[in-house]
Amino acid sequence: MKTAENFLSGQVLLIDKPLHWTSFQVVNKLRWAIKKAFNLKKIKVGHAGTLDPLATGLLVICTGKMTKQIDTFQAQTKEYTGTIVLGSTTPSYDLETKIDNTFSTQHITEGLIHETTKQFIGEIAQFPPIFSAIKKDGKRLYEFARAGKNVEIKSRNITINTFEITRIALPEVDFRVVCSKGTYIRSLAHDFGKALNSGGHLSVLQRTKIGDFDVNDSLSIEKFIKSLPSE
């Protein structure tokens, strides 16, 4: 059984983030549970890479002295699976906001879909979504977006090692992506739709791997809390 000293000296916890939770909420919940289980006044807890509320999957959580390794884990290659819906766009590039434009998909063939993925392999310039937590002038971009303000966003270079299409059932396209730190899969979905002359947005996203860490080895929040000593 884990002890207070284990968590203070440093643990790496693999958690399967549920839908609609923010990464921050998961960290707060685990910190509260660890403090309660061991009667601790304080303990450092952090995550290695944010997942959007509408995404599920692997969150690497570090406690105690292992929080010093967060930057190392964040820099590792990540793998995602999910679904892109072609023929429509949303301002947030996912289902956080409502559809704002629709487009024809009649011209889209399976061959065109597979061929278009090749444009996104390797190092590419990507614009983050306006609905993101990136800071500009001391404010989060999503704050500008929700206020209806236009703001200039700079592109950033990211690397996509793999962009594999795993199912086509138009307007839905399932994918698997292996990519570098800083990649926005929502932006990839948006840009992929644009490259198909159609528009697209993300409807499902799961992070499956960070470096050697795998979602198949992760615990739900409930299972982790049940593993802690109770009074």
Q: Which domains does the chain have, with CATH numbers?
A: 4-75+213-227 (3.30.2350.10), 78-210 (3.30.2350.10)
Report the predicted TM-score, pTM, of the whole model to 2 decimal places. 0.92
> Residue 142's pLDDT band (boundaries 50, 70, 90)?
low
Q: What is residue 145's predicted lDDT score, i.e. its pLDDT?
A: 60
Active-site position among 16, 52, 94, 191:
52
Give, in order, the Cα–Cα distances in Å from 202 to each of 84, 160, 219. 5, 17, 25
> Residue 94's pLDDT band (boundaries 50, 70, 90)?
very high
Q: Is 52 designated active site?
A: yes
In the chain, the DSSP E strands lie at: 12-17, 45-47, 56-63, 78-86, 88-89, 101-102, 122-126, 135-136, 139-140, 156-169, 172-179, 200-210, 213-214
- 61-90 average pLDDT score: 97
